[in-house]
Amino acid sequence: MKTSKKRIIQWLIVCLGVFVVITSFTLIKPNTTVKAPSGDDTLVIPEEINNIFDKSCFGCHNSDSKNEKAKEKLLINKLTGLSKSKQVAKLDKISEIIENNEMPPEKFLARYPDKALTQAEAKKLREWADSMSEALLKK
């Protein structure tokens, strides 16, 4: 009887672990639409922009990254929780860095060439950052 209780407990622990892992993956990614702290402003991250972030940016620019320098510059998973003025500043910086072809860095791309932004992706990301920045400033 003790053996079956142990197995049930082990099974429940495994299920809980799987649940935690799956939940953590969904919590780390940016949301499609999230209200900023003031409640009046909305930063929208469309799915196609989210996909670009996932492919080329999120590996370094997230809270769980080991890249401290990248985390200091931008945390994509915290972008929607910033104040409006900080969101605008981050969006403007994203646009500038993409326009100057500074991200992803060459050293990183030498190891992971599949993470490079295509011209179309860079253009979409810049246009999104510029338009969201302008929209937030108008609110």
Give the pLDDT confidence of 79-118 residue by residue, as tens digits: 988 999 999 999 999 999 999 999 999 999 999 999 999 9
Beta strands in 36-75 (DSSP E): 42-44
- Please give the pLDDT value at position 85: 93
- Please give the pLDDT value at position 9: 79
Contact indicator for 91, 125 with CB cutoff of 8 Å: no
Residue 10's pLDDT band, with cuts at 50, 70 and 90, is confident
Tokens of 65: 């990254």
- Report whether pLDDT(32) > 90: no
Q: Which of these, 133, 121, 126, 123, lies nearest to 56 by C-alpha position? A: 121
**DSSP type of residue 114:** G
**Percentage of the chain with pLDDT > 70?**
78
- Report whether pLDDT(3) > 80: no
Tokens of 123: 């253009």
- Please give the pLDDT value at position 48: 95
Report pTM: 0.68
- The CA–CA distances, whole Å, from 110 to 9, 22, 115 equal 47, 31, 10
Q: Is the peptide bond before 104 cis (omega within 30 degrees of 0)?
A: yes
Q: Which residues contact 45 (CB under 8 A, 6 or more apart)?
A: 30, 31, 32, 33, 34, 53, 79, 80
Q: What is the mean pLDDT of residues 6-10?
A: 79
- Please give the pLDDT value at position 112: 93
Contact indicator for 61, 74 with CB cutoff of 8 Å: yes
As a whole number of Å, the CA-based R_g of the chain is: 19
pLDDT tens track for 36-53: 334 445 788 899 999 999
